[in-house]
Amino acid sequence: PLETTNVPWQLILTDFVTNLSKSKGFDLINMIVDKGLVKRHSHLPCKKTITAEETTILFQNNIFN
């Protein structure tokens, strides 16, 4: 079992859902799960060609802003 925490955004899981049909130009979903107290999750559409730097920017712009 995965551990949990009472502090939001202290323990984060991320994964990519691949092999999707294109929709609005996107073919990949970046799933982000906060295993903290509120169990928050986000599903961010992106493209298979996304780089590590672009993933970081996507995360910052959608989670912390």
**Tens of pLDDT, residues 18-54:** 999 999 999 999 999 988 777 788 999 999 999 999 9
3 pLDDT more than 80 = no
The dihedral region occupied by 24, where left means phi > 0, alpha psi between -120 and 50, and beta the remainder, is left
| Per-residue pLDDT at 5 | 79
| Residue 53: partners with Cβ closer than 8 Å, 6 or more residues away | none
**21, part of any domain:** yes
| Per-residue pLDDT at 1 | 66
**3, part of any domain:** no
Closest by alpha carbon to 7, among 41, 37, 40, 33? 37
Looking at the structure of the chain, the number of domains it has is 1
**58, part of any domain:** yes
**4, part of any domain:** no
The conformation of residue 7, written as its DSSP 8-state character, comes to S
| Amino acid at the residue 41 | H
Confidence of residue 8 (pLDDT cuts 50, 70, 90): confident
**19, part of any domain:** yes
Its pTM stands at 0.77
Closest by alpha carbon to 54, among 28, 20, 18? 28
Domain that holds residue 31: 12-63
Q: Evaluate whether 45 touches 26 at the Cβ level (below 8 Å).
A: yes
**1, part of any domain:** no
| Per-residue pLDDT at 9 | 81
